[in-house]
Structure 1
Amino acid sequence: MSQDPWQLRLVKKSLKKKSKLRLLEKTIPLSPGRTALDLGCAQGILGYFARRRGGFWAHADEDLANLRTAGEILERDLVQLRGGELPFRSDSFDLVLCLDYLEHIEDDDRALAEISRILKSGGEFIVVTPHTGRFYLLHKLRSALGLRLEYFGHKREGYSFPELKAKLERAHLLVKRKTTYSRFFSEFFELILNFVYIKLLARGPSLERRDGHIRPASAEEFDAQKKTFALYTLLYPVIWILSRLDSLLFFQKGYSLMIWARKQRDNLPD
């Protein structure tokens, strides 16, 4: 029996990506007639699952290496981005996903304006980004461990909800719903895995990719860490059980912020 592609094997052992996928699958209805954009598709992992919700999907990223890797599982409809203007006609898409991508963009206001431009009137926008605030202690721990923002390809740490809501509204994108996920324990284990990969396995960070280098980014890199991944697979059930301690922190917001927004119809409030 052939194994799943390495990207899918990786996501099955990622606490954060699995939480994100569950939220997306619950909130993106099946729709064979939609036209959707996976903006900042990276290695294609989330786009692979998103397009199961039906419709035509385009997958875009400025990093050619990412697109080549994504092509292994997405195969088609891949678009390389160049510059700040998105290479799509105005009013083209019913849905745009922007999953852990906005924090990588220098001019995020321009990016949101472009997203608004290519969305149809009443079109949906789903954005996921790191969540920031005064009491997010693991952001401070990340800095203490020497994991600088540029190692993740980030231009900023993330956004608070009020900050991002204001930016969305300036782009005529009205927030309909928000949630957070990945509370302390899930985020802690994710941080430790990032530290181990960047500092120990990858022999230092790579600053060449737009999304940093915090996990294997190609089949070759994954194969080079097969023994480590096998060990992690053995430990994963224990890590998963410990991450369930997040349920005790019901009073705490998560370290990842997901917002569902809708483009104003004809620039009038919905």
Structure 2
Amino acid sequence: MFRKGLKKRQRLKCLRKLLGQIMPSERCLLLTCGDNNGAMNYFLRELGGTWSWADLEDVCLDEMSELLGEPVIQAQEDKLPFADATFDRIVSIDVHEHVDDPRIVNGELCRILKPGGQLIVTTPNGDETKLAVRLKNAVGMSKEAYGHRRIGLTSGEIESLMRADHVTPVRTLTFSRLITELLELTINFAYVKILSRKDRPDQDHDHVEIAPATSGQLQTVGKSYRLYSLIFPVYWLLSKLDGLLFFTEGYCVMVDGRRPA
């Protein structure tokens, strides 16, 4: 599933660029919020270091633990279960847009970051004027359909959160430009509005998965997923057209910060 996710592949590429090689002695944390079956954890672990895993939801905990062969902790946004200054590197993927007050979870991330440590926060771009965001709202794929409290955060908003918690932003990247975002929208729309409703007509439509995240969910859409696997090379090639839009800001932002030593 991971290898056939356009944005997931782009996100991993950006994370590899910012993290570089991690020393074996470094302690690292990945915090996610639901849409994660453990594949991202697996690839980050290959970069080195000693990793811990935490998620704010319980949907994929068993799936992640089985894949990784390690426990994945269910965490609370207002009190992450780690002591102050525990980690050399922290990566937060698509968490801030899911919580009521991103200042709280951001403060917790900074609390458990060691002096001199690296914090990477990535979220959807919170700019509501962008074309694909307006198209999502028009077809019923609003922030509620994604389980978000807000569209996302802008790079400036993430940088401000970091500075408020005494972490200095040093680099900002964006990815998933218009073409990729529209391609992902077709996938998410098909799953949320057609496939998952057909399989679970009584589900809560205010907060559903935007794509199959667990093996059980994948089995329910097996035929459709096989069809998508066949056309994925076309989607992947089309996503390369984003390169023509290099001068635009992407629909996902990633901010790299450092806590002063």
Which TM-score applies when normalising by structure 2?
A: 0.92
Shift in Å, 1:153: 1.5
Q: Distance in 2 between matches of 1:250 and 1:218?
A: 34
Shift in Å, 1:71: 1.3
Q: Distance in 1 between matches of 2:142 and 2:113?
A: 34
- Structure 2 match to 1:224: 220
Where 2:15 maps in the other structure, the secondary structure is helix
1:35-83 CA distances to partner (integer Å, 9 max, x unpaired)?
0111126322211111111121111113222211211211213111135
Query: Is 1:60 matched with 2:51?
Result: no
Shift in Å, 1:32: 1.1
Query: Is 1:171 matched with 2:145?
Result: no
Q: Distance in 1 between matches of 2:188 and 2:205?
A: 17
Structure 1 residue runs of 5 or longer lacking an equivalent are 1-9, 266-270
Would you identify which runs of 4 or more consecutive aligned residues in structure 1 move more than 6 Å?
A: none
Partners of 1:90 and 1:119 within 8 A in 2: yes
Q: Distance in 1 between matches of 2:159 and 2:96?
A: 13
Structure 2 residue runs of 5 or longer lacking an equivalent are none
- Structure 1 match to 2:17: 26
1:148-181 CA distances to partner (integer Å, 9 max, x unpaired)?
3122121111112222211110011110101101
Partners of 1:37 and 1:95 within 8 A in 2: yes
Letter in 2 for 1:243: S
Q: Distance in 2 between matches of 1:50 and 1:132?
A: 26
Aligned positions of 1:69-218 closer than 5 A: 69-82=63-76, 84-133=78-127, 135-203=129-197, 212-218=208-214
Distance verdict in 2 for CA 1:220–1:132, change over 3 Å: same
Percent identical among aligned pairs is: 35
Which TM-score applies when normalising by structure 1?
A: 0.89
Distance verdict in 2 for CA 1:249–1:82, change over 3 Å: closer
Q: Distance in 2 between matches of 1:39 and 1:45?
A: 13
- Structure 2 match to 1:17: 8
Q: Which moved more, 1:100-109 or 1:36-45?
A: 36-45
Partners of 1:151 and 1:205 within 8 A in 2: no
Partners of 2:144 and 2:206 within 8 A in 1: no
Q: Distance in 1 between matches of 2:13 and 2:202?
A: 30
Q: Which moved more, 1:173-182 or 1:59-68?
A: 59-68
Distance verdict in 2 for CA 1:45–1:139, change over 3 Å: same
